[in-house]
């Protein structure tokens, strides 16, 4: 039986990877990802997980080894954060275009400089266009469930894309909370073995990663995009299957008190749970506020988002990353773009906060929402506003 235990979110990821009976792990240590890979190393060392743990010499080699492993037909996992994800960047486009399934836990961390080991979404946004499926977790239960689901999504014949599970550095990775750790029998029922059709095998030689001149490159890229967009349906189906089996449902866009809301705050990641406290308080005071959390960042859930905000007057979008000199925070840009063609569209206010691990407390969320409502009423020429910063 699955049982609820007090454990760290990072360990819940490691447990999920063990339950998925992963074959190859290739990872390089980086704060705040280390607890995941340390735990996995222990599992391998103790014989609790029969896997090859490749202690690579860089994240670039971690992702490269993952490509080789997946191409050989092995279930493959890695984990990294911040600068590690940046160092992987060159390699990230390979599994996405070569359609190599794998799962990566990304412990979101701010990017240098100045150096910061603490969390924000700069790294997540930096790899936005590499072609991965990006799923955002909010708490320890999420990371456990979504990591297991991610293997099924990634290896599904209709998908065959690598998947990132994003978890906020420290604010989620290092939190100890009650988490239901899945039972091996249940996971085996849900997650079939990885069967890869084009694996590297001397008896069925295939060439992988051939190069494409202009007469074929655009066709390959369009096919990749179409496949990623289409993967959303399979992702939703797998989320539903997981929910039907285990009672915990996940959605591309999660809503909280949003049905009759006049103002909706939009967030991503672990800070969303803090934001619910502010929403509750404002609701008690008669302020019709709601919350939307974007869970599926790529492929972006356009329809689900439009559906969730169709009757709202104003949206306040919180980003935890800056698109320097750009139109708004990256999440807000996406939302403005998603709603631009709508006949009735809300006012959309872009706030950036919580950079480099700076906490956003419930009272900060409360004042953020109130300030957003003020701006929505009075209007502002600001593309975006960076909040909670000493002037």
Q: Which residues bind other proteins (CB under 8 A)?
A: 23-24, 26, 50-52, 54-58, 60-62, 64-74, 76, 90-91, 94, 98, 193, 200-213, 216, 220
Among the listed residues 250, 230, 232, 231, the one whose alpha carbon sits nearest the alpha carbon of residue 240: 250
| CB closer to other proteins, 24 vs 328 | 24
| CB closer to other proteins, 24 vs 143 | 24
Indicate the angle between helix axes 9-19 and 140-155, nearest 10 degrees. 30
Q: What is the closest distance, in whole angstroms, from the C-beta atom of residue 204 to other proteins in the complex?
A: 8
111: which DSSP letter?
A: P
Q: What is the closest distance, in whole angstroms, from the C-beta atom of residue 383 to other proteins in the complex?
A: 37
Question: In angstroms, what CA-CA distances link 42 with 6, 18, 151, 243?
Answer: 19, 11, 21, 30
| CB closer to other proteins, 89 vs 281 | 89
Q: In terms of DSSP bridges, do strands 52-55 and 24-27 run parallel, antiparallel, or are they unpaired?
A: parallel
| CB closer to other proteins, 23 vs 385 | 23
Distance, in Å, from the CA atom of 387 to the CA atom of 354, rounded to the nearest integer, reads 8
| CB closer to other proteins, 24 vs 175 | 24
Please return the burial class of 73, using the count of CB atoms within 10 Å of its CB with bins 0-12, 13-18 and 19+: middle
Q: What is the closest distance, in whole angstroms, from the C-beta atom of residue 131 to other proteins in the complex?
A: 14
Kindly write down the DSSP assignment for every residue of 98-110, as one continuous string. HT---EEEEEE-P
Among the listed residues 302, 357, 360, the one whose alpha carbon sits nearest the alpha carbon of residue 334: 302
Q: What is the closest distance, in whole angstroms, from the C-beta atom of residue 86 to other proteins in the complex?
A: 15
| CB closer to other proteins, 210 vs 381 | 210
* Cβ neighbours of 290 (radius 10 Å): 23
Q: What is the closest distance, in whole angstroms, from the C-beta atom of residue 52 to other proteins in the complex?
A: 4
Q: What is the closest distance, in whole angstroms, from the C-beta atom of residue 213 to other proteins in the complex?
A: 7
Token digits for 41? 């190393």
């Amino acid at each position: 039986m699955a049982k609820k235990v007090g454990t760290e979110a990072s360990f819940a990821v490691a447990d999920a990877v063990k339950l998925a009976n992963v074959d190859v792990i290739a990872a390089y240590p980086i704060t705040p990802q280390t607890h995941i890979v340390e735990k996995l190393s222990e599992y391998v060392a103790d014989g609790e997980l029969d896997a090859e743990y490749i202690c690579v010499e860089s994240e670039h080699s971690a992702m490269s080894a993952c490509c080789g492993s997946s191409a050989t037909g092995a279930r493959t996992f890695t984990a990294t954060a911040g600068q590690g994800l940046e160092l992987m960047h060159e390699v990230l486009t390979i599994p996405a275009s070569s359609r190599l399934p794998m799962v990566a836990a990304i412990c979101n961390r701010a990017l240098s400089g100045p150096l910061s080991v603490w969390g924000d979404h700069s790294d997540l946004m930096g790899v936005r266009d590499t072609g991965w499926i990006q799923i955002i977790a909010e708490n320890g239960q999420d990371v456990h469930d979504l990591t297991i689901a991610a293997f099924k999504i990634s290896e599904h014949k209709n998908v065959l894309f690598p998947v990132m599970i994003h978890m906020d550095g420290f604010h989620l990775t290092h939190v100890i909370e009650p988490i239901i750790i899945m039972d091996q029998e249940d996971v085996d029922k849900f997650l079939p073995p990885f069967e890869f059709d084009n694996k590297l095998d001397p008896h069925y030689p295939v060439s992988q990663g051939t190069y494409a001149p202009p007469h074929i490159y655009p066709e390959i890229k369009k096919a990749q995009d179409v496949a990623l967009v289409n993967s959303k349906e399979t992702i939703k189906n797998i989320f539903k299957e997981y929910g039907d089996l285990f009672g915990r449902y996940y959605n591309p866009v999660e809503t909280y008190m949003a049905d009759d809301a006049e103002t909706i705050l939009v967030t991503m990641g672990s800070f969303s749970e803090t934001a619910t406290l502010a929403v509750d308080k404002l609701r008690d005071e008669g302020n019709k506020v709601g919350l939307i959390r974007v869970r599926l960042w790529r492929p972006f859930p356009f329809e689900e988002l439009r559906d969730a905000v169709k009757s709202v007057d104003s949206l306040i979008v919180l980003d935890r990353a800056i698109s320097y000199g750009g139109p708004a925070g990256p999440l807000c840009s996406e939302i403005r773009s998603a709603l631009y063609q709508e006949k009735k569209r809300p006012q959309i206010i872009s706030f950036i906060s919580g950079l480099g691990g700076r906490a956003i407390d419930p009272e900060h969320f409360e004042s953020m929402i109130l300030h957003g409502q003020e701006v929505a009423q009075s209007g502002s020429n600001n593309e975006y506003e960076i909040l909670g910063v000493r002037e």
